[in-house]
Amino acid sequence: MNEYFKTLNLLPTSRVIKEMRKYAENNKVPIINDETLLFFLHLIDLMKPKKMLEIGTAIGFCAISIATYDGDILIDSIEKNETLFSLAVNNVRKAKLDDRINLFLGDAAELELEKLNPEYDIIFIDGAKAQYVNYFERYEKLLSEEGVIISDNLLFHGFVNNKKIIESRNLLHLVEKIEAYNSYLARNRNFDTKFFGIDDGIAISRRKK
């Protein structure tokens, strides 16, 4: 984020949030960027969502930041890595948000949908980038009528739409998958999607009426 705006924008904070930021930095755990989080908070102000689903909890930074900002929202979040899941459970407990943040250990590509809520106002896709189409098709069924799906990292560190700078075959494959997802969103006739160059690139998709 622009350094000047950083001094003007207030992000949710608490002792647990500060500890999580430090942990993520020291241990290279990817968490939501500040500007993307601000975009979320603004959306929350406008939408007043009741329920949100997050795919990819990591240590719970995004879920805890959002639930700290909005005292009413209920968040379900799925994480497949056991170590990160345990850290997230601990952080949610420390933040005293266990009554509003529900964590699920498992692969979002396989988790039984019956365990989740049928009507999410926001679904945040932030898991394995190569699986985004799969997540979208699986979870759009759980979106409320006015709900939105937010997808993160669609520019993937500037590699998307800039493949000539990629040297590794694995990275190339991943970037191609993200490009395919972006095209999938742009062409999806059931959803209207807007793409934003905020931080690592996000999209917001709303079901067409």
CB nearer to ligand SAM: pick between 51 and 80: 80
DSSP notation for 64-97 = HHHHHH-SS-EEEEEE--HHHHHHHHHHHHHTT-
| Alpha-carbon torsion angle 199, 33, 149, 56, nearest 10 | 130
Please identify, among the stretches 56-64, 89-97, 156-164, 195-203, the one whose residues bind ligand SAM according to the rule CB under 6 A: 56-64
Contact segment (CB under 6 A) with ligand SAM among 79-87, 90-98, 158-166, 185-193 equals 79-87
**Which is nearest to 16 in space by CA: 67, 119, 92?**
92
Q: State the Cα–Cα distance between residues 12 and 5, nearest whole angstrom.
A: 15
70 scored as a contact of ligand SAM (CB under 6 A): no
127 binds ligand SAM (CB under 6 A): yes
Tell which one of 16, 31, 73, 143 touches ligand SAM (CB under 6 A). 31
**CA–CA dist 170, 194 (Å, integer):** 28
C-beta of 78 vs 123, nearer to ligand SAM: 78
Question: And the tokens for 95?
Answer: 């933040």
User: Pick from 16, 35, 49, 61: which binds ligand SAM (CB under 6 A)?
Assistant: 61
Which residue among 14, 68, 81, 144 contacts ligand SAM (CB under 6 A)? 81
Helices (H), the chain: 3-8, 15-27, 34-47, 61-69, 82-94, 132-139, 169-187
Please report whether residue 200 would count as binding ligand SAM according to CB under 6 A.
no
Q: Identify the residue among 84, 122, 155, 202 touching ligand SAM (CB under 6 A).
A: 84
For 29, the token pair is: 């755990």
Q: Does 201 engage in binding with ligand SAM (CB under 6 A)?
A: no
* Residues engaged in binding ligand SAM (CB under 6 A): 30-32, 54-58, 61-62, 78-81, 84, 107-109, 126-128, 131
